[in-house]
């Protein structure tokens, strides 16, 4: 089923996913859809269509909460990497992201924070490379 034939909930989620993640989020979910299309749809509909689309928190605040939670889990490196890039997309600075992760060392421990810093390093490199590539194509 094409994206145009999906539910309104899916369409609302897809728009929000694009706002938060841009191409990175689309790439992740397109890859997931090759193996588990229903899971990809659920991710678009529930987190992005139902939760991220709610009023009450702006995109920056939602990414602060998400980066915190994923850091504290300590076992979601790939997801943390994607959400750190999303945090940069919605206006968080690298310094703020590092501080968020360091704050989690108090509650989740140093191993979780160290894993988070590793994810941040990788996310910053990807984000910078993407930004540099975009800048070079607009000149």
Distance CA 136, CA 117 (A): 28
Query: Which of these CATH numbers, 1.20.1290.10, 2.60.120.10, 2.40.40.20, 1.10.3720.10, describes 58-139?
Result: 1.20.1290.10
Q: What is the pLDDT of residue 25?
A: 86
> Which sequence spans correspond to the domains of the chain?
1-54, 58-139
Distance CA 13, CA 41 (A): 9
**The pTM is what?**
0.87
Per residue of the chain (139 residues), what is the pLDDT tens digit?
A: 555 667 899 999 999 999 999 888 888 888 999 999 999 999 999 999 999 999 999 999 999 999 999 999 999 999 999 999 999 999 999 999 999 999 999 999 999 999 999 999 999 999 999 877 777 766 5
């Amino acid at each position: 089923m094409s994206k145009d034939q999906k539910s309104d909930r899916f369409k609302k989620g897809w728009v929000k996913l694009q706002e938060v993640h841009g191409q990175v989020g689309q790439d992740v979910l397109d890859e997931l859809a090759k193996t588990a299309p229903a899971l990809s749809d659920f991710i678009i509909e529930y987190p992005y269509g139902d939760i991220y689309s709610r009023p009450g928190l702006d995109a920056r605040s939602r990414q602060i909460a998400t980066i915190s939670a994923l850091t504290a889990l300590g076992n979601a490196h790939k997801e943390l990497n994607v959400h750190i890039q999303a945090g940069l997309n919605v206006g968080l600075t690298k310094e703020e992201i590092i501080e968020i992760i360091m704050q989690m060392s108090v509650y989740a421990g140093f191993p979780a924070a160290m894993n988070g810093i590793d994810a941040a390093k990788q996310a910053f490199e990807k984000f910078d490379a993407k930004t540099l590539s975009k800048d070079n194509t607009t000149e």
